[in-house]
Amino acid sequence: MRGPHNVWRLIRTGATLERTGAMGLVLDAFQAPPALRMIARILGWPFKWLGLKGDPNMPPATRALTALGPAYIKFGQILSTRPDMVGDELAVQLRVLQDKLPPFSTDVAKATVETELGAPVEILFSEFSEPVAAASIAQVHRARLRETGEEVAVKVLRPKIEKAFRKDIDAFYLAASVIEMFSPSSRRLHPTDVIKHFDGVVQGELDLRLEAAAAGEYAATTENDAGFVVPRTYFHKSSKSVMTLEWAEGIPFGDSELVEAAGHDRRALGERVLQLFLRQALNDGYFHADMHQGNLKVSAAGEIIAYDFGIMGRIDEYTRRVYAEILMGFIQKNYRRVAEVHFEAGYVPADRDIDEFAQALRAVGEPIFGMDATQISMGHLLAYLFEVTERFGMETRTELILLQRTMVVVEGVARSMHPQINIWQVARPVVEDYIKQNIGPRALLRDLVATAQVLGRFGPRLPNLMEQALAERTRAPVKESRSRIWPDIGLVGLGAGITLLIILVAQAI
């Protein structure tokens, strides 16, 4: 479906923003320069009549994004957590997108449940409510299992949602290719790769079987996280378009006044949600990647309840260590080390000057220390960071997109609970603990043990592999006799010996 015909979708996007009155609000929120404002008006106003009307009862920004479709709604959900970037007025408007969108018919939801689970709703559930929450991809019904009487939440995908997402994402692909064509400097950011990554994430979110599996895994990895709850998944009542979870009673995380009125410590909740995210990302390498207020509740006991596991993030152990060292470098104001880590990881081209990069990082980090969140303009900070990355030729790392995006979202969530939160002070104990456990002599020994174990398992194949590699390089035939120079049993013994030696040293330390 990708192609020039998607130009219509992009034109209609601008026209819809103009028609709904959201254009000026968006330009003001992002502090657009005069030239960009003029271009937007020139391109938007003549096509205003082509824009989608949307629901006149909604605020302008919400009205525009809901009219444009689910992919735009997803984008709005992220921005709703960042009043420091888009302003309080726009953030409040966009917060409606998290779980208060217009629902679809309950009869349609029941028909989907019956088709997917193979039995009428009345047979499966003794109670099945009207929608209690509706978001961009699905809506939730409160129900009770007939066989056990347990109260559950039944999530049902919106009808024809896959086709709607496909239409939006196809237009995004076109926009990315146009940007790459007319702005060579943007190619280092890999716009098309970013959209491809987003496409993959969305496709996973549209299969509730995958979300059910993600919920089960997330519950297992976080079962020892104090003050954090993941509802139980009912796999036998879940399918591609339906998922059933344990009902979690609580106050919406976005209603900070109600949370405070219930006697909960808002400051503690803000700090906890940020530390939980960091601990899960660093220690587990598996984290909730859609952690906005609409997906969080506060229980009567003060626990943070998470749900909606359609977007989860994974980062490998090496990337976790790099991320931790970068965070720790900023916390300790060791900008030289932060620069070194960027070069070691290959994030910055090797031909750039490391001292100049460290100086640029200092210019980013120093102004934010000793200041509370209300004094920091995250929009200005991100704008300067973009200038730094462009100057030093850093390319977008698609494997870090979810991590970086979620970090921004979670900080915004924490800020909504505790506006004066300082991300660096809150992050420090979590990062320091990870550094102690995973970077240093003990971590090195663990790595050596793992390497030795691999050698022990695959050692017998190494001589042949080395001979084949050399033969391909020199185009010389591999002689069977040479592959026997190092007997298999000797290599296995050596691998086992190295493993035993490292284990003994580790125990001694």
Instruction: Please list the active-site residues.
Output: 290
Pairing of strands 228-229, 304-306: parallel
298 forms beta bridges with 251, 304
154 forms beta bridges with 141, 244
Which residues, 6+ apart, have CB-to-CB distance to 15 below 8 Å? 44, 47, 48, 49, 50, 51, 52
Sequence-ordered alpha helix ranges (H) in 392-487? 401-417, 423-438, 441-458, 462-474
- The structure tokens 């220690």 sit at 283
Which residues, 6+ apart, have CB-to-CB distance to 377 below 8 Å? 84
- What is d(CA 50, CA 244) in angstroms, rounded to the nearest whole number? 41
- What is d(CA 428, CA 320) in angstroms, rounded to the nearest whole number? 15
Rounded to 5°, the CA angle 419-424-428 comes to 130
Cα first-last separation, the chain = 61
Identify which of 326, 329, 317 has the alpha carbon closest to the alpha carbon of residue 282: 317
- What is d(CA 310, CA 209) in angstroms, rounded to the nearest whole number? 10
Q: Tell how many helices (H) and how many strands (E) occur in the chain.
A: 23, 10
245 forms beta bridges with 153, 233
- What is d(CA 379, CA 82) in angstroms, rounded to the nearest whole number? 9
In terms of phi and psi (left: phi > 0; alpha: psi -120 to 50; beta: otherwise), the region of 393 is: left
Sequence-ordered alpha helix ranges (H) in 128-281? 161-182, 191-205, 208-221, 256-261, 266-279
Identify which of 297, 299, 287 has the alpha carbon closest to the alpha carbon of residue 132: 297
Q: State the number of CA atoms in the 13 A half-sphere of 462 facing the CB.
A: 17
In degrees and rounded to multiples of 5, residue 41 shows phi and psi of -70, -40
- Asked if 114 and 82 touch (Cβ cutoff 8 Å), the reply is no
